[in-house]
Copies of this chain bind each other. A is one copy, B any other.
Amino acid sequence: MNRHFDEELDGLNSDILKMGFFAQEAIHKSVEALKNRDRALAESVISSDVLVDELELAIDEKCLDLIARHQPVADDLRFITTGMKLNAELERIADIALDISQRVLELADKPLLKPLVDIPLLTTLSKSMVKMAIDAFVNKDIEAAKKVLLSDSQADSLRNRIQKELVEEYMIKDISTIPRAIQLLLIARFLERICDHTTNIAEDVIYMVQAKVVRHHPEKLP
């Protein structure tokens, strides 16, 4: 039974990796759609969200089934319940990519307000934080999880810079830019929110590995 159980835990890892891949793809495509004002690509992000939702439910069921059949305790139990939490976080991340795509549809028929510089930077950061956070879970790697937590302030300052520029250089100087600027401002906030979800994952991973609470206590970082 034990070897079988280990194989099933490996299966959970693969499922989480797949979920993470879907989430990263969704982020990537939603911002590509923004850059190229590509309505079809934005719509494809929205329509493929159903696959992410189905995978989330399947992973959730698998976790419950694993607990019910194998009655794990201690580390194994914590691994599975952490998997359930990651699963929910990744589904939310994909949902945010869908939110971004909806903003893109609002913008698709209008001229691009400005060349995009900081939004692609924030996108790259958010995708790499998603990847790092999932790898931290799969490899039970505290160092990778810590890197995710340390990256979050970068995300905050990029978001603030984007917001400041949109208000001061566009909205206040030319009121005709306001509707488009608000969409970009929301997109920047969505991307920063994705980074927040990755820090939730990283905190859960550290808690799982060390059974030590860093969540809400950054000063206790190992």
Chain A contacts to B: CB under 8 angstroms: 50, 53-54, 57, 63-64, 67-68, 71, 73-74, 77-78, 81, 84-85, 88, 163, 167, 171-172, 175, 178-179, 182, 185-186, 189, 213, 215-216
- CA of A169 to CA of B73 in the docked complex: distance in angstroms? 59
Give Cα distance in the complex from A101 to B42, angstroms.
33
Contacts of A73 in B (CB 8 A): 68
The reply to whether A175 and B171 form a contact with Cβ atoms under 8 Å apart is: yes
Note all chain B residues with C-beta closer than 8 A to A185: 182
B contact residues around A216 at 8 Å (CB): 50, 53-54, 57
Instruction: Give Cα A73–Cα B84 distance, bound, in whole angstroms.
Output: 16
Smallest Cβ-Cβ distance to A171: which chain B residue: B178
Identify 22 residue pairs between A and B in the complex whose beta-carbon atoms are under 8 Å apart, listed by A's number: A50-B216, A53-B215, A53-B216, A57-B213, A57-B215, A64-B77, A64-B78, A64-B81, A67-B67, A67-B81, A68-B73, A68-B77, A81-B84, A85-B88, A163-B182, A167-B178, A167-B179, A167-B182, A171-B178, A172-B178, A175-B175, A182-B185
A78 and B178 CA atoms in complex are apart in Å by 47
For the complex of A and B, 7 pairs with smallest distance between CB atoms: A53-B216, A71-B71, A68-B73, A172-B175, A171-B178, A68-B77, A172-B178
Provide the residues of chain B in CB contact with A57, threshold 8 Å: 213, 215-216
Q: Which residues of B contact A213 (CB under 8 A)?
A: 57
Task: Report how far A163 CA is from B84 CA in the complex, Å.
Answer: 35
